[in-house]
């Protein structure tokens, strides 16, 4: 199984104007311990994140790299790590096929980790995370942290393929106890 995580609002606190400094980056409760459970189970974990703040010039590429180093350092305290980080720095105005809701980064990750949509799950808090997962044909889980509650209120309630969890630890608990191929939710 490959687990793909949106970053802001899933791993760390979402901020209205993006995370543009090291101090802005704060892990959400329980995230490190739950990612460590995936690592321990030998399940690959990658981050799939839009960071238009770089494309807009609000954060440098080096600044983003430092924020991701901080993320890995904070996770390390719980013996957790992210196997790979996929970033799209395009702005909304000129997106390519990597910027979510397009599936480019998810397709790239599945290729890199040599896996297929049936064995892949995207966990996100925004509509565009879910749309990207749908476009890539993989499983998707909405978490209610970050923009999640707002997303839950606005999405169509007839999407029966959608699995909802209150936060990342809860979603990961579910994945570790419910094989994807048996969930019948693809």
**Distance of closest approach, residue 184 Cβ to Mg ion, in angstroms:** 27
- Please identify which residue in 1, 2, 3, 8 interacts with Mg ion, judged by CB under 5 A: 8
**Distance of closest approach, residue 13 Cβ to Mg ion, in angstroms:** 11
**Residues touching Mg ion, count (CB under 5 A):** 5
Distance, CA of 65 to CA of 85 (rounded, Å): 10
Query: Which region, judged by CB under 5 A, interacts with Mg ion, from 7-15, 25-33, 69-77, 155-163?
Result: 7-15
Check binding of 9 to Mg ion (CB under 5 A): yes
Quick check: 1 and 180 in contact, CB under 8 A? yes
Tell me which residues are annotated as active site: 6, 8
**Distance of closest approach, residue 14 Cβ to Mg ion, in angstroms:** 6
State both tokens at 163: 């699995």
Tokens 């954060």: give the residue.
59
**Distance of closest approach, residue 129 Cβ to Mg ion, in angstroms:** 6
Q: Which of residues 8 and 90 has its CB atom nearest to Mg ion in the complex?
A: 8
- Compute the residue count for the chain: 186
Please tell me what DSSP assigns to residue 118: G
Q: Which residue is nearest to Mg ion (CB)?
A: 9
Query: Which region, judged by CB under 5 A, interacts with Mg ion, from 9-17, 90-98, 101-109, 151-159?
Result: 9-17
- Please identify which residue in 6, 122, 148, 171 interacts with Mg ion, judged by CB under 5 A: 6
Residues between 118 and 157 with contacts to Mg ion, criterion CB under 5 A: 125-126
Neighbours of 146 (CB within 10 A): 25
Omega cis (within 30) before 101: yes
DSSP-based three-state secondary structure for 169: helix
DSSP-based three-state secondary structure for 23: helix
Neighbours of 101 (CB within 10 A): 16
Query: Which region, judged by CB under 5 A, interacts with Mg ion, from 2-10, 52-60, 68-76, 168-176?
Result: 2-10
Quick check: 164 and 141 in contact, CB under 8 A? yes
Residues lying near Mg ion in the complex (CB under 5 A) are found at 6, 8-9, 125-126
């Amino acid at each position: 199984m490959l687990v793909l995580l949106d970053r802001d609002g899933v791993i760390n606190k979402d901020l209205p104007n993006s995370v543009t400094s090291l101090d802005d980056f704060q892990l959400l409760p329980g995230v490190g311990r739950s990612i460590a459970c995936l690592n321990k189970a030998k399940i690959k974990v990658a981050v799939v994140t839009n960071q238009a703040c770089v494309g807009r010039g609000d954060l440098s590429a080096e600044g983003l790299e430092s924020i991701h180093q901080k993320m890995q350092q904070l996770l390390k305290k719980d013996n957790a790590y992210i196997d790979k980080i996929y970033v799209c720095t395009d702005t909304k105005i000129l997106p390519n096929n990597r910027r979510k809701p397009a599936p480019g980064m998810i397709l790239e990750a599945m290729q890199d980790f040599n896996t297929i949509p049936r064995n892949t799950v995207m966990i996100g808090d925004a509509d565009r995370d879910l749309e990207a997962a749908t476009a890539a044909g993989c499983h998707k889980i909405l978490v209610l942290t970050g923009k999640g509650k707002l997303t839950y209120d606005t999405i169509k309630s007839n999407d029966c393929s959608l699995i909802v969890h209150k936060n990342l630890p809860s979603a990961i608990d579910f994945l570790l106890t419910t094989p994807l191929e048996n969930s019948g939710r693809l």
